[in-house]
Structure 1
Amino acid sequence: GVAIFLLFICGIGLAWMVANRAMKGVRRVTQTAKNIRHEGFHHRVQEGMEGTEIQELAVTFNNMLNRIESLIMELKDVTNNLAHDLRTPLTRIRGQAETALRVDQPNMKSYEEVIGTVVEECDRLVQMINTTLEIAQIESGIDNVDHCAVDLVDIVQKGCNVFLPLAQDKEIQLKIHCPQEPVCVLGSVPRLQRVMSNLLDNAIKFTGEGGQVDVTLKAHGTNAVLSVKDTGIGIPSNQQEHIFEKFYRAESSRSTPGSGLGLSYVKSMISSLAGNISVSSTPGQGSTFIAEIPLVKPQ
């Protein structure tokens, strides 16, 4: 009887020790949550050794905090950049309106010019906001756009036909290298068309007169590989890692009109299709953007 009693006491003591160690870890998580509420997201749970489950909870909690803090920083950057980019067209709209109001005897032509400028700037604002929202929707994972098998050969050829007059205006040779057979990926036709347009627009915009842009599409292994190569101004190596960030513009491109969202859209769209995009560039010689997207069978 005494032995059973002692075993019972030992069992209670052992259970209390285990529970206390577990509760110590839970209290640590709770205290960190309270600190975050009052002092900010820089706090983390100390990852002790109170048991596998508690350690796993601490690691998971800290990973969640890291992700939240990263998202908050990204949101701040996007907000700051968006506010900066919205300020410019709004300032132009206000300036045009004030100029029109100061004219004593305005004629119809001057009013038409002011209204035309205002409409253009408003269109820019709407496009910028829509693109920002679409990127956010794609990256959030709650995108409801239907996907189907899309032939990239058709996307590339039509995109190049649209941009051919712009290339000819700058005496740029726009060359297309596509296979005869379909190269299909799972995606949205309008969005893939926009990806192609953004890459072509970027290449032609930053290539000088008499330059060349080569667009190459091929099937390689399990991927469709799209390459857009130009002989333009190029991107410095220390800026290439930022080129796909929202609103980022390389120093050499800041004098050229643009929102800084085109390549960010391309990156988000291709990533959502389980693909990837990379850039290689040499300042003064040009840039090459290579996108890889998983192949699917034609429907």
Structure 2
Amino acid sequence: MVIFLSIIIAALIGLNFFQYKSRKGHTENLTYVHEKLKKIIDAKTDEKLLVHTDVEQLKKILIEINRLLELNQKVMATYNKTEMSMRKMLSNISHDLKTPLTVVLGYVEIMLNDPGRGSEETRELLSKVHGKSQEVLELINRFFDLAKLESGDKDIPLKRVNMNEVCRKNILGFYEVLSTKGFEVAIDIPDENLYALGNEEELDRVLNNLISNAIQYGGGGKFLGLTLRGDENSVYVDVTDKGKGISELHKDLVFERMYTLEDSRNKQYQGSGLGLTITKRLVEKMDGEILLVSKPYEKTTFTVKLNRITY
């Protein structure tokens, strides 16, 4: 009997000791988690919580905490990228507004300081003022268009669109410019009509932007191609040039706000930097996507991909 009681007492003592060690281990783990989590948040690092434990509940909590940390890190990265983009955008738009406005003020000062000049010279100066004012207005309009697209305020109703007609109309609109500049033009539009889900007005704007971009930035190759094609699910419009192209380094950047291929803001390549951004947003609003493939000085192609309608 004494031996039996001794065994029971020893077992109880062992159980109490085990419970004590277990509670101590839990306390140490929770203290570590608290201190480590505080350090990660305060230092804004990308570390994760690593705790060796056999407690299933604690393992599940750690997994969810690490998921939250990963989500927070992604949100912060996106925020930082957006903030940097906005700063560059504001800097560039200030530059692009300042330049024509400075020129306008210069012309106005000339007219004010020399009231006796001839009517012909005055008309010439006023024509220059008008041109620069148009540049400023166009830039402001593009900026507000992009703001509307990104805020969701711009409604773009979608319907069945004949892509053959859209492509023909837009390439014909550049016929005189392309002829004057001596471009070789390659047009491949099938006889069979291809229909896509889209908005004709905004598609005109998309193609206008892409063709203008090809002429302005790819004009050195003196070539412009427009191809319309389709498969079972999609319709594709390819706009191609053989100019200076876009390097791998810049491919992911050309659709960003206020980005231009010439960071120097070289007069030859100067633009608002909003055209391709607006183009991308418009295509996305039509449930499509825009793709880019470029081999500098050989072939650069922007492809608009839209959902095909077969009925």
- TM-score class normalised by the smaller sequence: 0.7 to 0.9
What residue number does 1:24 align with?
34
Distance 1:194 1:180 in 2: 24
What residue number does 2:67 align with?
56
**1:249 Cα deviation (Å)?**
3.0
1:76 aligns with 2:90: no
What residue number does 1:198 align with?
209
1:230 to 1:61, Cα distance in 2 relative to 1, 3 A: closer
8 Å CA contact 2:225–2:239 kept in 1: the answer is yes
- Give the alignment's TM-score, normalised by structure 2: 0.75
What residue number does 2:304 align with?
291
Distance 2:29 2:110 in 1: 75
**1:257 Cα deviation (Å)?**
5.1
1:61 to 1:204, Cα distance in 2 relative to 1, 3 A: closer
2:121 counterpart (110, 113, 138): 110
What residue number does 1:260 align with?
273
What residue number does 1:280 align with?
294
Matches within 5 A, 1:223-234: 223-234=234-245
1:152 aligns with 2:163: yes
Distance 2:272 2:192 in 1: 36
Q: Between 170-179 and 66-75, report the one with greater CA deviation.
A: 170-179
Distance 2:302 2:247 in 1: 14
1:296 to 1:254, Cα distance in 2 relative to 1, 3 A: farther
8 Å CA contact 2:93–2:272 kept in 1: the answer is no
**1:218 Cα deviation (Å)?**
0.7
Q: Give the match's secondary structure for 1:278.
A: strand
What residue number does 1:134 align with?
145
1:45 to 1:245, Cα distance in 2 relative to 1, 3 A: closer
**1:65 Cα deviation (Å)?**
1.3
Distance 2:175 2:119 in 1: 36
Q: Between 157-166 and 113-122, report the one with greater CA deviation.
A: 113-122
- Unaligned runs of at least 5 residues, structure 2: 1-11, 52-61
Amino acid at match of 2:34: K
1:92 aligns with 2:103: yes
Select the structure of larger CA radius of gyration: 2
Distance 1:66 1:237 in 2: 22
Distance 1:67 1:242 in 2: 15
**Aligned-pair Cα RMSD in Å:** 3.7
8 Å CA contact 1:44–1:65 kept in 2: the answer is no
Q: Give the match's secondary structure for 2:176.
A: helix
Q: Sequence identity, in percent?
A: 23
**1:66 Cα deviation (Å)?**
1.5
Matches within 5 A, 1:173-184: 173-184=184-195
Distance 2:106 2:206 in 1: 34
What residue number does 2:77 align with?
66
**1:86 Cα deviation (Å)?**
1.3
1:204 to 1:27, Cα distance in 2 relative to 1, 3 A: closer
**1:208 Cα deviation (Å)?**
5.4
1:214 aligns with 2:221: no
Distance 1:233 1:67 in 2: 31
**1:146 Cα deviation (Å)?**
1.9
8 Å CA contact 1:171–1:210 kept in 2: the answer is no
Distance 2:241 2:190 in 1: 20
Amino acid at match of 2:236: V
Q: Give the match's secondary structure for 2:174.
A: helix
Matches within 5 A, 1:157-172: 157-172=168-183
1:45 to 1:99, Cα distance in 2 relative to 1, 3 A: same
Q: Give the match's secondary structure for 1:295.
A: strand
8 Å CA contact 2:246–2:300 kept in 1: the answer is yes
What residue number does 1:271 align with?
284
**1:235 Cα deviation (Å)?**
4.2
Q: Give the match's secondary structure for 1:227.
A: strand
Amino acid at match of 2:305: E
8 Å CA contact 1:82–1:247 kept in 2: the answer is yes
Report how many aligned residue pairs link the two structures.
285
Q: Give the match's secondary structure for 2:185.
A: strand
8 Å CA contact 2:198–2:306 kept in 1: the answer is no
- Unaligned runs of at least 5 residues, structure 1: 36-41
